[in-house]
Amino acid sequence: MTGYIARRSLITLLTLIGVSILVFLLVHVLPGDIIDTKLSIFANRSPALIAEMEERYGLDQPVPVQYLNWLSSILQGNLGTSWRNNVPVRELIAESLPVTIELTALAMLITVVIGVPLGAISAIKRNSWFDNIGRVLSFTALGLPDFWQGAMMILIALTVFNWFPPIRFVPPWKDPIQNLATFILPAIALGTINIANVMRLTRSSVLEELHRDYVRTARSKGLQERSVIARHVLRNSLISIVTIIGLMTGYLIGGAVPVEAVFTLPGLGRLILSSIQTRDFPTIQATLLLTSTVFICLNFLIDLLYAYLNPRIRYGGEA
């Protein structure tokens, strides 16, 4: 197990380095830069003024040097300063991150609480009306983009219930009711597709386990069906379910961008979009690197949990 952890740690580290290079280069291929944005109000853009601003923002250096300087600052905990408003990027992320974390956590809670039981019941009642309706709804949900669902939810809330979800973020410890009212619709919109995926995967995993020899043996010994399902079938289905849920957490972080934009939530999604519009390179790089790092680290933890749940897995001859 120690060798497996070491190998996975090395792969994770190399992946993080590759992602940092990719994030840095992708930002630099965007059309325009901060100089174009700041000088757009001037009719006469003299070469001297452009050169002065390039030197101020470090854009006069070769791209590899810019990357090394940026990476060195990141490793020291310095995420840079926003080119748009001269505020440390760390402060902007600190203000936006709690919103995205709460939205993602609530969406994942809804996904697990609804998707896993529905998938298990659908497998147990295979080919019943419940199973057929569940499969139709899951396929339908997969084809509905989360931002479109969000827009439809707002429209229905306004036209049918004459209610609009609050747009001012209030921490849950200050006003839990308003906080829940702010996040419930975005969380449902963000989690719907994941509910469908978790439901389908749970159904497939439970169906596969139900046909195993150990299930027939347990039933032949006189165990109650509820005990067979809860203690054996669901437990052995956890490996696939835990894996997909962990991967979906990373998807939720990325999927929060359009949902936050639709519901005007002040999270990382809105921060990224506004930074792209103003060519605020330090903020774009820091937020993209942060979300990518979270996704990669989640994959690393999932690999460790996967190996723990199933010791029979062999990686290079080692359990």
Q: Is 222 helix (H, G, I), strand (E, B) or coil?
A: coil
Above 50 in pLDDT, residue 313? yes
Average pLDDT value for residue range 188-211: 82
Provide mean pLDDT across the span 40-53: 63
In terms of average pLDDT, the best of 21-35, 102-116, 224-238, 245-259 is 102-116
Higher-confidence position of 158 and 54 = 158
Decide if 227 is inside a domain.
Answer: yes
Encode pLDDT of 60-92 as tens digits. Answer: 777 788 888 888 888 888 887 887 778 888 888
d(CA 153, CA 144): 12
Confirm whether 29 is domain-assigned. no
Res 31 pLDDT > 70: no
Long-range contacts of 248-252 (CB under 8 A, 24+ apart): 248/108, 248/111, 248/194, 248/197, 248/198, 249/104, 249/108, 249/298, 250/294, 250/295, 250/298, 250/299, 251/194, 252/104, 252/107, 252/108, 252/190, 252/191, 252/194
Task: Give a yes or no: residue 43 inside a domain.
Answer: no
Give the mean pLDDT of 22-44.
66
Return the pLDDT at 34: 60
- pLDDT on residue 317: 45
In a domain, 308, yes or no: no
Residue 59 lies in a domain: no
- Res 244: pLDDT: 74
Does any domain span residue 17? no
- pLDDT for 278 equals 76
Q: What is the pLDDT of residue 145?
A: 75
The answer as to whether 163 is a domain residue is yes
pLDDT reported for residue 173: 80
Mean pLDDT of 240-269: 77
All residues at 6 or more sequence positions from 222 whose CB lies less than 8 Å from its CB, including other chains: none
In tens, the pLDDT along 165-189 reads 776 777 778 878 887 888 888 888 8
pLDDT for the residue numbered 319: 42
- pLDDT recorded at residue 180: 83
- Average model confidence (pLDDT) across the chain: 78
Overall number of domains in the chain: 1
- pLDDT of 45 higher than 70: no
On the question of pLDDT at 296 being above 70, the answer is: yes
Query: Does the pLDDT of residue 121 top 70, yes or no?
Result: yes
| Band of residue 199 on the pLDDT scale cut at 50, 70, 90 | confident
Mean pLDDT of 142-147: 75
Query: Cα-flanking dihedrals φ and ψ of residue 315, to 5°?
Result: -125, 105
Range of the structural domain that residue 148 is part of: 89-277
CATH number at residue 207: 1.10.3720.10
Q: Which residue has the tokens 């709690």?
A: 98
Per the DSSP assignment, residues forming a β-bridge with 81 are 88
Instruction: Give the lowest-confidence range in 40-44, 68-72, 126-130.
Output: 40-44
